[in-house]
Amino acid sequence: MHIHILGICGTFMGGLAVLAKQAGHRVTGCDANVYPPMSTQLEAQGIELIEGFDPAQLSLQPDLFVIGNVVSRGNPLMEAILDRNLPYVSGPQWLGEHVLASKWVLAVAGTHGKTTTTSMLAWILEDAGYNPGFLVGGVPQNFGISARVTESDFFVIEADEYDTAFFDKRSKFVHYRPRTAILNNLEYDHADIFPDLAAIETQFHHLVRTVPGQGRLVVNGVEESLARVLERGCWSEVEQFGVGDWRESDAAGAKAAPGKDAFDVWFGNAVAGTVVWDLQGTHNRMNALAAIAAARHVGVPVAQAIASLGRFANVKRRMEVRGVVDGVTVYDDFAHHPTAIQTTLEGLRRRVDNARILAVLEPRSNTMKLGVMKAQLPASLEQADLVFGYGAPAGKDALGWDLAESLAPLGAKAGAFQDLAELVQAVRAAAQPGDHVLVMSNGGFGGVHQKLLDALAQR
What pLDDT score was predicted for residue 268? 86
What pLDDT score was predicted for residue 443? 78
What pLDDT score was predicted for residue 256? 63
Measured CA to CA in angstroms, residue 275 lies from 141, 144, 174, 254, 284 at distances of 18, 23, 33, 9, 11
pLDDT at residue 188 greater than cutoff 80: yes
Evaluate whether 345 touches 433 at the Cβ level (below 8 Å): no
What pLDDT score was predicted for residue 50? 95
List, for residues 109-158, the tens digit of each pLDDT value. 999 889 999 999 999 999 999 999 999 988 888 998 889 999 999 999 99
- 381-399: b (≥16 Cβ within 10 Å) or e: bebbebbbbbbbeeeebeb
What pLDDT score was predicted for residue 137? 85
What pLDDT score was predicted for residue 286? 94
Average pLDDT taken over every residue of the chain:
91
What pLDDT score was predicted for residue 41? 78
What pLDDT score was predicted for residue 230? 98
CA end-to-end span of the chain:
56
Average pLDDT over residues 86-114: 96
What pLDDT score was predicted for residue 353? 85
pLDDT at residue 35 greater than cutoff 70: no
What pLDDT score was predicted for residue 138? 81
Q: What are phi and psi of 101, to 5 degrees?
A: -60, -35
Alpha helices in 269-337 (DSSP H): 282-297, 302-309
CB atoms within 10 A of CB 221: 16
Rg (CA), the chain: 22
List, for residues 247-289, the tens digit of each pLDDT value. 898 887 666 666 688 999 999 889 999 999 988 888 899 999 9
Average pLDDT over residues 80-101: 97
Evaluate whether 133 touches 189 at the Cβ level (below 8 Å): no
Domains and CATH numbers, the chain: 2-91 (3.40.50.720), 102-309 (3.40.1190.10), 320-457 (3.90.190.20)
List, for residues 281-319, the tens digit of each pLDDT value. 888 999 999 999 999 999 999 999 999 999 998 777 777
Q: Please give the biggest Cα pair distance in the chain.
A: 68
Share of the chain above pLDDT 90, in %: 68
| Rounded CA separation 194/251 (Å) | 40
Residues contacting residue 145 through CB under 8 Å, at least 6 positions apart: 18, 139
What is the H or E stretch that residue 201 is in? Answer: helix 197-210
What pLDDT score was predicted for residue 433? 94
Average pLDDT over residues 321-344: 88
pLDDT at residue 196 greater than cutoff 70: yes
Strands, sheet with 154-158, edge to edge from the N-terminal-most edge strand: 147-148, 133-135, 154-158, 104-109, 180-183, 216-220, 237-241, 246-250, 261-267, 270-277
CB atoms within 10 A of CB 427: 25
Which pTM does this prediction carry? Answer: 0.82
Residue 192 C-beta-side C-alpha neighbours within 13 Å: 11
How would residue 424 be classed by pLDDT, with cut points 50, 70 and 90?
very high
What pLDDT score was predicted for residue 148? 94
pLDDT at residue 82 greater than cutoff 90: yes
What pLDDT score was predicted for residue 117? 96
pLDDT at residue 369 greater than cutoff 80: no
| Rounded CA separation 279/351 (Å) | 9
pLDDT at residue 38 greater than cutoff 90: no
Residues contacting residue 30 through CB under 8 Å, at least 6 positions apart: 4, 5, 6, 7, 8, 49, 50, 51, 52, 53, 57, 77
Q: 275: which strand partners?
A: 263
Q: Please state the separation of Cα 227 from the chain's center in Å.
A: 23
Lowest mean pLDDT among 51-60, 153-162, 248-257, 430-439: 248-257
